[in-house]
Structure 1
Amino acid sequence: MTESRAGDLFQPGDLVNNTYRIEAILGRGGTSDVYRARSEISGRLAALKVLKAEFSSNEDFLVLLTREEEIREIRHDAVVRYSENNRTPEGHVYLVMDFIDGPGLDQKLKQGPMPPDQLLTVCKRVCEGLEAAHARNIVHRDLSPDNIILRDGDPSQAVIIDFGIAKDTNPGAETIVGNEFAGKYAYAAPEQLSGKTDTRTDIYSLGALLLANYRGESPQAGRNPMEVVENKKNPLETDGVPEPLKSIIDRMTAPDPADRFQSATAVLQALSNGGPVPVADDPVLDDATVIVPRRASVESDEVSVPPASIPPSSPPPARPKAAQEKGGRGGLILGGGVLAMVALGAGGYFSGVFDSFMGPIYPVVQPYTLVVEKREGLPPRATGFAPSEEVRTELTDEMTLQQGTADLTLASGDISPDWGQGVTSIVDTMADLDTWRVSVSGNSAEISGDTTDRQVHDTVMQAFVNGLPGGLTGDVDIELEPLFLAAASVQTVLDSMADCGPLDLIRPPSTGYGPDTSIAFSGTVAAETTMAALQSGLGAVAGDRPVEADVEVLNPSLCLIENFLPAAPPGPIGIDFRKGGEDEWRRPDGAFVVGENPIIDVILPRDIQDGYLSVSVIDVSGNVFHLLPNISRADNDITDLRKGDNGIKSVRVAYSLEESEKNGGIAFMVDDSALGKSKVIAIRSDKPLFTDMRPTTESATGYAEALRDRSRSQDTNILSINSKILTTVAE
């Protein structure tokens, strides 16, 4: 159990909204804390997820909590139940959910490796919960050991919690946090780093956490964002993992989503069969490989349907009554004859003797899949099933013609008679596209591709104007990619990932970015994870164009203020840092180490003679210090601050320790309790920024709310805003 702290919003014994009595704090997160509470009305235990104070008025975080509440429609014992969203009179927003009593998989991870049979049980249980969520088009996006709790410690009672960044994939629904990265690096699927998620994303994360709990150690994703992106391209290391857990994890965590289990249902089927089932991209032994059907058993759930071209066998003739009633030599001879005939028939069947009038017999597979694709910079490749030697040869020849490869297995399935002809026709049509993909499952096909040649685009689209050939049905999505990338397309990606003020393109070309033109942008972000998502997301639209980022990584507190700052241009006012002491050395980079005394001066140029100056510092811990005006220094009229000096004027707002002791004023000393980035903000307005004097120190949330309220007033004009980062480090 987590220990309570004095700074927690709620303490044991507190009564929330006259309903929930707080018993303990269960955990602390970046944006919210979770408490165990008991209803004073029903006596039911509940978990209260409470948004941290600094985020309680931030609409983005309120949307997160509201969407999480909406997931209450998922009714499954393996998914935590949500009931209500509410706000206390003090403004604290909280979400009520079921209390699950038991250890999380993160706790089990710290205790060491888990047995494979327990992990397979967890896998089955969680997949059942995901199946229910995915059926409502809800993708979790953040599956990790800390988001799965074992009720009463029982793996068969695993429960998925924390759908806080879940994404509703229904058409038209909004992504909760835009298209940016969501999820933890170690367990995130590769495509999540570029903001792409679907049900297969959850499959990957579940496989990754199963592997971590088998090893008894968290996976090492990489030492920096770019290393993470590179590592995610490779399969996870599963050497030494026993079967069938190894095969299950390998298929769940394939780097390419197309190579994974395509649904939680597919994972459950594999678990019930004792291991993964064949898919299009599974390796085969050689070009002549065919699938050998399993021996039928009464326990099997699989049903094999014979090919339509093969007539059903006639029932065996009834045994003569005399033979049934009499034993002896005659009965033995008759039985031996039947056995000989059966043996002869089986030999002819499997050796192909009867192929001339029955056609070749191939085992039935379900689903019947084929994937043919050409990725950027790679030769085309065909993998999956083919219904005949002729179709396999045609597809192999087509791949060879395009300098590609084919890996095809002969099999029968529930497909149209002209399936092979349709597939080969589609593949031939796609050949001139830059990149393309044909994914077929049974008689359903998904066709996509892109080209920069309009004529090629129009030719391919015209080929499918009347539908797909060979009895196939499905969607065709061929994109015409312009040679020049519009700046607006890049800005859209930046806007979708901005989490700490705007991200702006630097000198975007009016005609768009050419094939070799660099894309440069600047701004601030809240975390390194955003930077990784930006690199990956821009890479998806930029192609081979180089990307240059002039971006500063701040922290959530600074970004909270950034989002509430009034809109105003930067001005000529400067901010100067010095180190306290006899020499007062300048620190242009704003970097100070533990034990040093930062001095802050605001520099007024000659042309700034009037208005009001407000200077504040937002530190790394989320506190705001108002340097000017404050209770001990209320006058911030620029005319008064100048004291008749019409030239360049330096106004000291944070003093050396000696000055503070002698004349008063705010002074700072760097200690190791809150190291990181703080932001100094200088706002010039035509009238006082606030009607009432702000306290010398307040929370970032309080200051943000004051800025928000001020923005609703039209009495004061903000003339300029200037800022500079002050960084404190250990040494």
Structure 2
Amino acid sequence: MTQSRPADAFQPGDVINNTYRIEALLGRGGTSDVYKARNVISERPMAIKVLKAEFSTNDDYLILLRREEEIREVRHDAVVRYSENHRMSDGRVYLLMDYVDGPGLDARMRDGPMSADDLLVICRRVAQGLEAAHARHIVHRDLSPDNIILRDGDPAQAVIIDFGIAKDTNPGAQTIVGNEFAGKYAYAAPEQLHGRTDARTDLYSLGALLLANFRGAPPRLGNNPMEIIQSKTRPLDTSGVPEPLKSLIDRMTAPEPDHRFASARAVLDFLDAPEDALLDEATIIPTGAPSALVAPPVAEPEIALAEPAPAMGQPVSATGMSTTTSPGTSTPPATGGPGASPPAPGAQAAPAPAPARRGRGGLMAAGALVVVSAAAAGAYVTGALDGLLGPAFPPANPYTLVLTHPAEGAPTAIGHVPGEEMRDQLAEGFTAQGGSADLTLSSGDIPASWDSDILAAMDLLAPLDSWQLAADGAHVSITGDTADPEVEGRVEAAFAEGLPGALDGTVDIALRDIFLDPAAVREILRDMADCGPLSLSGAGPAGFGPDDGLTVQGRVAETATRVGLFDALRAVAGDRPVVLDLDVRNHTLCLLDDHLPDAPPGGVGFDYTIGETGAPNPSDNFLVGENPVIDVVIPADMTDGFLSVSVMDVSGKVYHLLPNLMLEDNDVASLRAGRDGPVPVRVAFPVDPDRQEQRLVFTVQDNSLGKSEVVAIHSTEPLFDGLRPMEESAEGYAEALQRHAETNQALIQSMDRRLLVTQAP
């Protein structure tokens, strides 16, 4: 459970739609919060996802919430069941769904590794749920440990939750957030990073999370997006994972979608008979093998028949270079050339082309060529030709290199380099600075001067506070920043004519303040405050550092102020998180906040009861038609002085509950009437048509809904000369407080207050 805050949409005890009583806050997200609630009629537990106020009128997020509601058409016990969306009178939108009681796989991961047997059970259960979703053309796209709950802690009762960014793959369906990419990098399939998703995307994520829970830790992919993209091209490390879980994860997380299981049904078939699948070598595609190396079976060789030799000096065509074969034998042609990659283990050789029919002379020439080629190949493999051709390194496509030099933390180098000299130079430089270098000697489609050009660009970037160079072949993207204007100008001038040598690409050098001045933030708070001062926290001695969050606390008069404040802070905060812990009130309460005395709380309590039933109402909320009954409770240590109680109503009026024409005596000693300990005093009464004496009775009307507040002020003498009217305007009461402010400040001992919220059912 997550600790509630005053600014949360709902508080424990709130009753929504006269049906769902909030019990706890389950978690906060970027756009929504999730609460545990209980249906007060059926006693059934529910979960409620509430869009944050600033997104409640944003069509994109409303579409997402509507799409999540439509997942209710997927009927399977392994998929959370959704109900419907609702909009409240204050504009907030929420979605009802089943509450699943149990730990998430993320919580289980924090407890340590899980057994392979439990993970196989979870895989079967989740694959069954995915099969049901995929049958409806729904791809989850964000499958991760925190989105799988183990009901009652049982792996066999795993439930998939949070389809909020699921994609409908039906023709014409739209994708709202992040185009095709959604989800968490650690568990996202490689094709998601390039804008493609289908059912196999969910299978990759399922395999990745199974591996993470087996290890007891999420995968480590890198320190920046380029490193992550590079790591996604490689198979996951499943060393040490027992069979059949290892083969299952390998097949689910192959970087190339075509090498994965084709569907959730195929995963279930594997789980039904893993021994058969492991024995059938034809079904096992080498993990990480490029698709070009998975070739069709070799055709039966044809028999070459001798033909007359070509005339002397006639050129021999390429097709004349095949060798003859005896019946029942075959000699495959040489494939590739120096530096060509051998087939992956288990991959079949490429089919031999049908030999051309040639004469004996052609055959002799072919034989000589084969001998020469074999000798050359031997020299190449042994390195005898390195002086002429250079060393043979495996090809890389794409040919990438990412160099990252952060302002704080260790620099990293990862990717491909064309030679040992560059590798050693980078490794020595980065490790000397406490960093790391993971570099692979590779050949590729790069200019001859590529290595020296990259090193020259690094030298130009050295004066910056932080920089990153990401190369894809000869195309390079450079970003960097500095707090020194002179350095910024010097580096930009160095790249003014373009990148060094044969490189091309973009250079973006930013001049930035390392620290954000709190004074600039406080100026925004002063300009936008409409319900008293707003406080700011999170800054260090020099201001807000790059990783410091901005937290604002206080009160605002309306939701629009909260949204505007968030936008204004987001514009100056950069990448820093912004947290608004604000109580949204109304203009009446805010007006009185400016005039109420500055006094400490005195321990006066407030008990609310629903007049029609007499049942206690621990929440602050009353629905249209209900009769709020209010008791103030005098604390045991308050034995003298005077107690004044008023309601600051949402309608802009103030109702004086004590003293008034019906309850004139507000002397604490009189109210106690000789009683010790806490003493309740009723100041707002239930509806009772049979009673004759006048009493103050409230009934919630639908023309003035929102937040009101009950305020109890304890003073040594009466606050005012004589009684205030039973009902007056907020402005009139504020003026009276202002007139008596100097006198009252000396008299007032304490002030206690509690909200009373009226809302539609």
TM-score, normalised by the number of residues in structure 2: 0.45
TM-score, normalised by the number of residues in structure 1: 0.46
Q: Which has the larger radius of gyration?
A: 2
